[in-house]
Chain A
Amino acid sequence: MLLIACPNCGPRAQAEFTFERPLASIVTPTETLPDLIHKLFTRENPRGPSWELWRHTYGCAGWLKVHRDTHSHQISAALPVDMETPS
């Protein structure tokens, strides 16, 4: 099980969190149709590092941005949702 450091609550077990979607798949109301299809369906689905949106559902209920390797499960960052991700 992952150990995720919630920016509000500190390190907590994955059981308290829910995965939402990759950050790149967040859809805005002004999306063009090709972008929309890309974000909803033909996602990158990387085997390696990925920025993701998670929620501390059974804790503070806050959203967070997590940088996680989808193969090794190493988490290199867990940021508040309003913080810019490093490019």
Chain B
Amino acid sequence: MQRYSALSLLRGGLNGQKSWQRAWRDPAPKSHYDVIIIGGGGHGLATAYYLSKVHGIRNVAVLERSWIGGGNTGRNTTIVRSNYRQPALHNLFEFSLKLWEGMSDDLNYNVMFSQRGAMFLGHSDSDMIRLAERGDAMRAAGIDAEFMTMDQLRKKLPLLDLSDKARYPIVGALNQPRGGTARHDAVAWGYARAADALGVDVIQNCEVLGIDRVGGRVTGVQTTRGPIGADRVGICVAGNSGQVAAMADLRLPIESHLLQAFVSEPVKPMVDMVIMSQSIHAYVSQSDKGEIVMGGDPDLYPTYSQRGRPDRIEGVAGQCIALFPALSRLRMLRSWAGTTDMSFDGSPIIGTTPVEGLYLNGGWCYGGFKATPASGWTYAHTLAKGEPHALNAPFSLDRFETGATIDETGAGPMPHHR
């Protein structure tokens, strides 16, 4: 792999940018791999990278039906944070955040991780009590969390509507200073390039059509580019987990919903943090290009269409404008939608399945991007050892039957009520 550095940039400038190599190969599928990962999103590519780097398993293929990072990796609002209350969740996401902090160096690829702070707004006394509980739980686990007073908010975010006449009155906030955003495409590209350099085959335009089993054990997959054998197969296709798992006759505790996101035209810096409200469920940040990135509730009914409902656009815009009245002057540039795996407790599934040699990583609801490195790390461990890492052991597929659900919002088995 050609390493990127200030020197390589200089060299490129001097020779008309002719010295750049392609970032990863375009290999034809081999007949057999030790591990096949279905799905070339950030999570699948990270899994392949850590399989090679940490566990020394290099005969690995990542199969992607279209182009890498073209699914939910490229559709999220790029927020990274670890401000969860429950230990199973904040342990996983904090481990992830620590990997984010070293990711650009580790991958030799600038993922533009920007720790600008990620903040939950409080709109009432009960909001503040919940935020205090959350902050206490985080700090007890060694995770950064700090209360923001109204004076601090006024200074930090002058465009936020902090008046008593606000549509959504704000009384304080809980900030995680180490939270922030990253460039989502770069995460997929960086992991693909680094995994490829370690010998992983990243195979695009290769759709999996079937999962082969002999005597209840996985032996490989059928694809649009022919059959490929494998000792172990890892599903990593959040958004379509149920469809792929059905190829091995599994039914998952997942319902497929849809989440939209929106960006405005680019403007000068006006929001230098990630601002979220759990009570009204809206979130606002500003991309490095200057676009205001907005999101809100999912569309609240099962669909694989990747087409959002227009009343949600109106609803999210209304919420964001109520928080930041200056946004009313901006034009919306784009909106898009992604299919999300809504699990029935709001938490992901990473682990083994009843089919020997088949593993599952999915059910990320609408919060998978920030977990990309930890998801890859723990899934690689699970695939390499045949059993989960301590961090993903609570996120087992059978927790719904056993009652050991990890329900941060306490919503119960109602994915559309989250």
Contact = CB atoms under 8 A, between A and B. Distances in A.
A14 to B, nearest CB: 6
Contacts of B20: none
Nearest to B343: A41
Contacts of A44: 251
A45 B401 CA distance: 18
A61 interface: no
Most A C-beta atoms less than 10 A away, residue of B301, B400, B416: B301
A26 to B, nearest CB: 13
A73 B303 contact: yes
Given A47-B304, A70-B303, A14 B254 contact: no
Contacts of A37: 400-401
Interface in A18-54: 18-19, 22, 37-38, 40-45, 47, 50, 52
Nearest to B302: A70
Contacts of B300: 18-19
A1 B310 contact: yes
B302 A45 contact: yes
A83 B413 CA distance: 26
Contacts of A15: 309, 311
B344 A40 contact: yes
Contact of A70 (B304, B344, B401): B304
Given A14-B311, A19-B416, A73-B303, A45 B400 contact: no
Contacts of B177: none
A42 B251 contact: yes
A19 B416 CA distance: 8
Nearest to A66: B301
Interface string A44-74: 1101001010000000000000000011110
Contacts of A22: 302
B302 A40 contact: no
A34 B32 CA distance: 38
Q: How large is the interface on A (under 10, 10 to 19, 20 to 34, 35 or more residues)?
A: 20 to 34
A41 B413 contact: yes
Contacts, number: 60
A78 to B, nearest CB: 14
Q: B-side binding surface: helix, strand, loop or mixed?
A: loop
B309 A1 contact: yes
A71 B304 contact: yes
A24 to B, nearest CB: 12
B278 interface: no
Contacts of A19: 300-302, 416
B305 A71 contact: yes
Nearest to A39: B413
Contacts of A38: 251
Interface in B272-328: 300-305, 307, 309-311
Contacts of A13: 311
B255 A45 contact: yes
B252 interface: yes
B122 interface: no
Nearest to A13: B311
Contacts of B256: 45, 47, 70
Nearest to A72: B305
A20 B21 CA distance: 53
A49 to B, nearest CB: 12
Contact of B413 (A18, A40, A73): A40
A40 B414 CA distance: 9
B169 interface: no
Nearest to B311: A15
Nearest to B310: A1
B303 A1 contact: no
A73 B82 CA distance: 36
B255 A43 contact: yes
B242 interface: yes
A42 B252 contact: yes
B253 interface: yes
26 contacts: A1-B309, A1-B310, A1-B311, A13-B311, A15-B309, A19-B301, A38-B251, A40-B344, A40-B400, A40-B413, A41-B344, A42-B251, A42-B253, A42-B400, A43-B253, A43-B255, A44-B251, A47-B243, A47-B256, A47-B304, A50-B302, A52-B301, A70-B303, A70-B305, A71-B303, A73-B307
Nearest 9 pairs between A and B by C-beta? A19-B301, A41-B253, A41-B400, A15-B311, A42-B251, A40-B413, A45-B242, A1-B309, A71-B304
